[in-house]
Amino acid sequence: MSKKNILIVIIAILFIGAGAYYFYQVKAPAQVNQQGEEQNNEGEQPSQEEVVLTPAEKELRDKVLELVGMANEGKTDEALTGYLALLKDNPTDLMLLNNIADLYSDKSDWANSEKYYKLLITAHPDFIQGYRMLAYLYQYRFNDDEVKIKALMDSGLKATNNNADLLNWMIAYYQGKDEGEKALPYSQMLADQLNKK
């Protein structure tokens, strides 16, 4: 193993360790006490901010959930038709765009899946999962198109202020291709981000 590859492995291990420490010590999920109440690490009650949906938003969510059930029953064409109909009046709805892209992917319609994932991240540039799903599509269905993957993820990193999840995705992507040297800039961005905290 070359010195460069050993360095990359050491850096990756350090990042994983720092990320795990950050997650478990700083961003640890809330715990439930014996009375069934959520508490954070300090034992305090979380804020009770609740998202209140308008009647129109609630109606849309109910229709989407009904279509999700339909898709889960194997009625994917009917669900897709329903999603597309709802999208006409709700062209930037995150759940609709995501579900449409997912259904097209399930149907092996890669071009339409790409189209709707692109619409999704255009409408919601901070939606991390959209970048990941589109990158996986490019990786596994578009013959590992590195140019598209890099352009997509670099734009996602710019839009999300170097999101750690996207940085880790790129590091893993290049390490999986045994091209660790291409992962180094992303490793450095992740290190810089972790050092700020």
Residue 44 within any structural domain of the chain: no
pLDDT for 194: 85
Q: How far apart are CA 121 and CA 138, in angstroms?
A: 15
Give residue 167's domain range. Answer: 125-184
Residue 37 within any structural domain of the chain: no
Which of 107, 136, 168 terminates a domain? The answer is 107
Residue 4 within any structural domain of the chain: no
Q: How do residues 172-192 score in pLDDT, each as one tens digit?
A: 999 999 999 999 999 999 999
For residue 192, the tally of other CB atoms under 10 A from its CB is: 11
Q: How do residues 51-68 score in pLDDT, each as one tens digit?
A: 788 999 999 999 999 999
**90 shares its domain with 129:** no
Surface-to-core class of residue 105, CB atoms within 10 Å of its CB (0-12 exposed, 13-18 middle, 19+ buried): buried
pLDDT for 193: 83
pLDDT for 74: 94
- Report the DSSP beta bridge partners of residue 32: 38
**129 shares its domain with 179:** yes
pLDDT for 53: 87
pLDDT for 178: 94
Q: Which residues of the chain have pLDDT under 50?
A: 7, 9, 12, 14-15, 17-47
- Report the DSSP beta bridge partners of residue 95: none
Neighbouring residues of 191: CB distance < 8 A, sequence distance ≥ 6: 11, 14, 15
Residue 175 within any structural domain of the chain: yes
pLDDT for 63: 96
Residue 45 within any structural domain of the chain: no
Q: How far apart are CA 136 and CA 170, in angstroms?
A: 11
Q: How far apart are CA 107 and CA 114, in angstroms?
A: 13
For residue 88, the tally of other CB atoms under 10 A from its CB is: 7
Domain count, the chain: 2
| pTM > 0.75: yes or no | no
